[in-house]
């Protein structure tokens, strides 16, 4: 809200914005719309303007603005009507129209004009004579104009291209001379009851507080003759109530210009007579001051009591006589709608109330064993915020936050209030905040001078604390509920992110990015490879990227935290100490003062910015997974800041999830490394060079981590001029399939080099597979022997045992199978296999693939043998490498999804003899 108050000046109307106002429409049922017939000569004596944001709380703020403005102008008679009308019109602007509202109050001799403008002109402009029915008063919207018609002296609506303005005028009621305030006429039965004649004691007190005059009614009421009391101080007769929260005694009340309330007068019989008194301070023509006291029996207070005052002497009331909540009296209206704002307002009001130099407020943790600093004023708040102190700091009431305490001089008792150590404060008063007898916080006010506070100030502060305790606890519980809901959402999101990856480095990065800056300003993750290894600094992150290298350098030069498996956060002071020492060395070196006595490890040279970044509180949380400490999560704050207890509890929950995710990533990495190593061992390390034949192999293992098993290939020399080749596919994946794969590849080499032909090699391999028993897997295999010829061709003998048939591409572009299908291996004992002879002429290509190529799918479509043939037809004239690459591109483009099966491609081409 922005406001401005302008003193009255020359008579003028509010300047129009935009074009001249359009004709206004008279609401149906209310007669013609009153014109703005305020005399142009009436003087605008004051203006007050304010703008309100389009949020719900602006309505209450607008009401307070208008109320305060009119009361300041002395127009209490029309305050209520003005507040009601303003409330409705501002509600229409900020809630229904959704725009900011501008409120202008104009004071003149005959009344007040209030204008409320919004910025939503795109509405139907009323035309004169249009029949529009006014909305029902029971509806949520549309009441504003009806109320204006009912309460205002004059009102209207002005439209411009940029805004809509609703104004109303309230005339001041005629007040005859001598009339200040009047109550309603009441039947006699409802009038206050008095005992016969009402006696009003008139007592005049001189400037020293002594009785100067005592009338007959005073003699009758209290039993003293005038000569018995004249010259005596009134304080000798008054029984003044020591009400908590007020320092006003009878002596102070007699010096006030006006006072009204209840106390007691001791009569001649020794009894205290409750009276209601009105004190008025006057002076005579010589300038001598005195106080006139009018006193009646307390139950006859209606004779003296001002109608606008509340009946109780400590009841809080607004200037217009309406009772208000004592909480609002202390905090002010409107009260802040957030906990931090409420606590900050509280400490500021408490400091001002006791004329202190600083104030602080602490809230209790859930277990009520510690208090946490949540607001302060006049103190280094950055250093003190979220600092924690125990509820019971020592024996006796002065060591407990559960009781009020006054320390007249902290220098006499060093450390009595640890929160104020080093702040220069000497005297302090603290009081507890309690709700239903349960400690919820502590409020304190401190001053730089000694002996400033006594029990009286403690009573006043306790009186204020009792009135705000419930509101503070309600706001705290609301914040705690929001924090817990946010924590739950945070942990759910964190769990999803951590579960979405099995990469160790990415898991470390996620851990850091989730904590900075949500939970901490910077963080570092230490990992432990095994029980015998020391913690290793694996990742560092700061919300300011320029400070990451400096923090990493600092942490790498100090010993890592101990890997303690105890759950929960523990403070680690080493980074802050090292940073402070290094910063001191740097500063002294720059000033030419040499090195300080206390030194840190050589090589530490962080800048002052780095020292400030890690100079606050640092905590370490263990990363425990499967009953083993696998690392530590370190969280830090900048200089002199502390962690909230709720943040530490949330960080502990996160550390448990992160530890399990990090350990899962470690196990997966180890398993992947083993799988890849085994996969490499099942494939030939390299391909032999074959004179006169081009050979190219492409192998793609499906699945994340390259699961072992599946497809395999091999190309090896058998004897001079003869080479064996194979490509196969074992049923399934995993260790069982890998065992069959290794058996097949090594058996093929061994049997072929022993001189067995193709059918004999496969029959013996079949027997070996069946001997595996339950671990056996059936196997499709294409095996052949290759003889390069002197004329540039190549002779092949091929056996295709259940495998996709090899395809031969001729130079003319025709494609044909190069073998016939035969039974696969690992199913039946007796196999009758035979080999087929194929001759590759110069320029011919032999293509061998596994079923991962032909069974590539996209929905219901499959590449198949025909699709592979079509692609191979386009490869005429290409080298073996180009053929294999084109086949792989075609397979990958056939479907958008990643391949679900291993793929192996073996291409052999006879280029022919080179001519000189």
For all residues of the chain together, what is the average pLDDT?
A: 79
Label the pairing between strands 201-205 and 211-214. Answer: antiparallel
Q: Assess whether pLDDT exceeds 90 at residue 849.
A: yes
> Three-class SS of residue 287?
coil
User: Helix H segments across 754-841?
Assistant: 758-770
Residue 61 has pLDDT above 60, yes or no: yes
| Cross-strand bridge partners of residue 700 | 903
pLDDT in tens, 423-458: 888 899 999 998 887 888 999 999 988 888 888 888
Radius of gyration of the chain from Cα atoms? 47
Residue 803 burial (CB < 10 Å; 0-12/13-18/19+)?
A: buried
Q: Is the peptide bond before 517 cis (omega within 30 degrees of 0)?
A: yes
Angle between helical axes of 645-681 and 455-499 (0-180°, round to 10): 20
Assigned token pair, 100: 């900011």
Q: pLDDT: is 517 or 846 the higher one?
A: 846
**DSSP letters of 317-369?**
B-TTS-B--HHHHHH-SSPPSSHHHHHHHHHHHHHHHTT-SEEEEEEE-TTSS
Q: Which two tokens stand for residue 58?
A: 């602006």
Nearest Cα to Cα of residue 554 among 521, 525, 576, 522: 576
pLDDT at 280 over 80: yes
Q: What is the pLDDT, as a whole number, of residue 848?
A: 95
Give the mean model confidence (pLDDT) for residues 261-284: 87
pLDDT, average across residues 548-566: 84
Give Cα separations from 544 to 510, 522, 547, 552, 834 (angstroms).
17, 9, 6, 13, 73
- Nearest alpha-carbon partner for 95 in 63, 51, 140, 161: 140
- Are the beta carbons of 573 and 617 closer than 8 angstroms? no
At 17 the pLDDT is 39
State how far Cα 636 lies from the chain centre. 18
Lowest mean pLDDT among 16-20, 510-514, 748-752: 16-20
**Angle made by CA atoms 35, 38, 44, in degrees to the nearest 5:** 140
- Give the Cα separation of 899 and 885 in Å (integer): 16
* Residue range 600-634, pLDDT digits in tens: 444 444 456 676 677 678 889 999 888 888 888 99
Distance CA 128, CA 517 (A): 61
DSSP label of 298 = G
- In the prediction, which pLDDT does 868 show? 93
Please count the residues of the chain: 916
- Give tens-digit pLDDT for 754-803: 989 999 999 999 998 888 777 678 889 999 999 999 888 999 999 999 99
CB 908 within 8 A of CB 846: yes
For the chain, the straight-line distance linking the first and the last C-alpha, in angstroms and rounded, comes to: 95
Number of other CB atoms surrounding residue 403 within 10 Å = 13
Q: Which two tokens stand for residue 27?
A: 């609401």
Of the pLDDT bands very low, low, confident and very high (cuts 50, 70, 90), residue 858 is confident
Strands (E), 549-691: 570-571, 618-625, 628-636
State residue 592 phi and psi, 5-degree precision. 70, 25
Q: In what order do the strands lie in the sheet with 779-788?
A: 709-719, 722-733, 779-788, 794-801, 836-840
Give the residue, 871 or 128, on which the prediction is more confident: 871
65-79, 586-600, 721-735, 812-826: lowest mean pLDDT where? 586-600
- From CA 735, how far away is CA 748, in angstroms rounded? 20
pLDDT tens-digit map of 98-121: 788 899 999 887 889 999 998 776
CA distance 107 to 96: 29
Q: What whole-number distance in Å separates Cα of residue 305 and Cα of residue 424?
A: 48
Q: What is the dihedral of CA 104, 108, 111, 117, to 10 degrees?
A: -20
Q: Please state, in angstroms and as integers, the Cα–Cα distance from residue 549 to each residue in 367, 539, 605, 612, 743, following that order.
A: 40, 11, 11, 14, 52
What letter does residue 730 receive in the DSSP assignment?
A: E
pLDDT of residue 588: 66
Decide: residue 328, CB within 10 A, 0-12 exposed, 13-18 middle, 19+ buried. Answer: middle
Residue 654 has pLDDT above 80, yes or no: yes
Return all residues near 200 (Cβ < 8 A) that are at least 6 apart. 217, 294, 295, 296, 303, 304
Higher pLDDT, 211 or 580: 211
806 or 270: which leads in pLDDT:
806
Confidence class of residue 282 from pLDDT cuts 50, 70 and 90?
Answer: confident
Q: Where are the beta strands (DSSP E) in 767-871?
A: 779-788, 794-801, 807-809, 815-817, 836-840, 845-849, 857-858, 861-862
Cβ atoms of 293 and 202 closer than 8 Å: yes
CA atoms of 409 and 413, how far apart (whole Å): 7
Listed in sequence order, the residues at least 6 apart from 897 whose beta carbon sits closer than 8 Å to its beta carbon are 858
Token pair 């008054």 is found at: 238
- Please give the share of the chain, as a percent, with pLDDT higher than 90: 21
Write out the E strands in 348-486.
358-364, 370-377, 388-390, 405-407, 427-435, 438-447
CA nearest to 221, candidates 205, 199, 203, 239: 199
The CA–CA distances, whole Å, from 322 to 73, 246, 319, 325 equal: 18, 21, 7, 10
Q: Identify the helix (H) or strand (E) that includes residue 249.
A: none
Q: What percent of the chain has pLDDT over 70?
A: 79
Structure token digits, residue 617: 């509180």
The model's pTM: 0.46
From CA 802, how far away is CA 833, in angstroms rounded? Answer: 11
Instruction: Say how many C-beta atoms besides its own lie within 10 A of residue 404's C-beta.
Output: 20
Average pLDDT, integer, range 298-320: 56
Output the pLDDT for position 140.
43
Residues 645 and 487: their CA atoms lie apart, in Å, by: 13
398-426 confidence digits (pLDDT tens): 567 778 888 888 888 877 887 888 788 88
């Amino acid at each position: 809200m922005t406001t401005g108050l302008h003193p009255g000046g020359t008579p003028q109307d509010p300047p129009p914005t935009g074009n001249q106002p359009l004709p206004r429409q008279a609401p149906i049922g209310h007669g013609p719309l009153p014109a703005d017939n305020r005399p142009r000569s009436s003087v605008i004596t004051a203006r007050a303007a304010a703008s309100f944001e389009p949020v719900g709380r602006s309505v209450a703020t607008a009401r307070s603005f208008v109320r305060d403005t009119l009361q300041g102008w002395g127009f209490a008679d029309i305050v209520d009507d003005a507040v009601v009308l303003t409330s409705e019109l501002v509600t229409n602007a900020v809630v229904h129209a959704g725009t900011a509202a501008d409120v202008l109050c104009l004071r003149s001799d005959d009344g007040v004009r209030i204008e409320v403008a919004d910025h939503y002109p795109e509405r139907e402009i009323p035309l004169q004579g249009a029949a529009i029915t006014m909305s029902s008063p029971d509806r949520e919207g549309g009441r504003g104009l009806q109320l204006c018609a009912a309460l205002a002296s004059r009102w209207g609506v002005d439209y411009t291209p940029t805004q809509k303005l609703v104004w109303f005028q309230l005339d001041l009621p005629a007040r005859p001379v001598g009339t200040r305030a009047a109550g309603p006429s009441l039947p006699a039965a409802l009038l206050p009851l008095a005992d016969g004649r009402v006696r009003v004691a008139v007592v005049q007190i001189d400037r020293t507080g002594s009785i100067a005059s005592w009338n007959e009614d005073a003699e009758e009421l209290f039993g003293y003759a005038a000569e018995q009391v004249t010259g005596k101080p009134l304080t000798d007769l008054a029984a003044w109530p020591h009400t908590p929260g007020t320092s006003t005694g009878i002596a102070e009340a007699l010096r006030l210009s006006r006072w009204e309330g209840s106390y007691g007068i001791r009569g001649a019989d020794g009894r205290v007579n409750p009276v209601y008194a009105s004190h008025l301070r006057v002076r005579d023509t010589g300038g001598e001051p005195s106080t006139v006291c009018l006193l009646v029996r307390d139950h006859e207070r209606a004779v003296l009591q001002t109608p606008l005052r509340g009946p109780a002497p400590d009841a809080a009331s607004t200037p217009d006589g309406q009772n208000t909540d004592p909480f609002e009296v202390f905090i002010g209206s409107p009260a802040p709608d957030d906990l931090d704002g409420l606590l900050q307002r509280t400490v500021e009001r408490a400091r001002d109330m006791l004329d202190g130099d600083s104030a602080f407020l602490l809230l209790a943790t859930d277990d009520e064993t510690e208090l946490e600093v949540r607001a302060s004023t006049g103190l280094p708040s950055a250093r003190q915020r979220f600092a924690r102190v125990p509820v019971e700091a020592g024996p006796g009431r002065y060591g407990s936050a559960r009781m009020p305490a006054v320390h007249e001089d902290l220098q006499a008792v060093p450390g009595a209030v640890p929160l104020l150590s080093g702040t220069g404060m000497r005297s302090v008063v603290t009081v507890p905040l309690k709700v239903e007898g349960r400690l919820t916080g502590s409020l304190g006010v401190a001053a730089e001078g000694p002996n400033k506070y006594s029990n009286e100030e403690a009573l006043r502060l306790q009186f204020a604390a009792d009135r705000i305790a419930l509101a503070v606890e309600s706001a705290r519980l609301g914040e705690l509920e929001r924090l817990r809901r946010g924590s739950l959402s945070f942990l759910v999101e964190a769990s999803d992110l951590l579960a979405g990856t099995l990469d160790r480095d990415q898991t470390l990065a996620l851990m850091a990015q989730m904590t900075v800056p949500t939970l901490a300003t910077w963080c570092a993750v230490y990992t432990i490879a095994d029980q015998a290894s020391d913690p290793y600094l694996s990742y560092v992150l700061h919300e300011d990227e320029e400070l990451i290298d400096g923090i990493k350098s600092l942490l790498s030069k100090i010993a890592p935290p101990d890997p303690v498996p105890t759950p929960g956060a523990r403070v680690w002071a080493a980074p802050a100490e090292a940073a402070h020492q290094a910063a001191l060395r740097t500063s002294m070196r720059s000033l030419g003062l040499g090195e300080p006595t206390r030194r840190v490890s050589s090589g530490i040279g962080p800048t002052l910015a780095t020292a400030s970044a890690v100079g606050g509180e640092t905590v370490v949380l263990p990363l425990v997974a499967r009953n083993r400490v696998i690392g530590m999560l370190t969280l830090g704050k900048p200089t002199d800041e502390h962690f909230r207890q709720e943040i530490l509890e949330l960080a502990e929950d996160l550390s448990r999830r992160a530890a399990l995710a990090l350990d899962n990533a470690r196990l997966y990495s180890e398993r992947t490394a083993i799988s890849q190593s085994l996969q490499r061992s099942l494939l030939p390390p390299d391909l032999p060079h074959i004179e006169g034949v081009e050979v190219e192999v492409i192998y793609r293992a499906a699945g994340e981590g390259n699961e072992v098993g599946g497809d395999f290939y091999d190309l090896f020399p058998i004897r001079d001029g003869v080479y064996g080749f194979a490509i196969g596919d074992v049923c399934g994946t995993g260790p069982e399939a890998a065992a069959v794969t290794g058996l097949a590849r090594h058996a093929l080499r061994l049997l072929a080099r022993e001189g067995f032909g193709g059918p004999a090699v496969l029959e013996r391999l079949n027997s070996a597979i069946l001997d595996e028993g339950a671990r056996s897997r059936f196997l499709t295999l294409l095996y052949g022997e290759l003889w390069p010829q002197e004329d540039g061709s190549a002779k092949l003998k091929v056996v295709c045992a259940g495998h996709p048939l090899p395809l031969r591409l001729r130079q003319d572009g025709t494609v044909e199978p190069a073998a016939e299908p035969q039974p696969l291996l690992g199913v039946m004992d007796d196999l009758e296999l035979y080999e087929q002879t194929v001759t590759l002429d110069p320029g011919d290509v032999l293509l061998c693939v596994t079923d991962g190529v032909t069974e590539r799918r996209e929905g219901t479509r499959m590449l198949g043998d025909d699709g592979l043939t079509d692609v191979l037809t386009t490869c005429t004239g290409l080298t073996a490498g180009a053929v294999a690459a084109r086949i792989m591109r075609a397979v990958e483009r056939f479907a958008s999804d990643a391949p679900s099966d291993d793929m192996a491609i073996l291409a052999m081409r006879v280029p022919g003899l080179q001519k000189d």
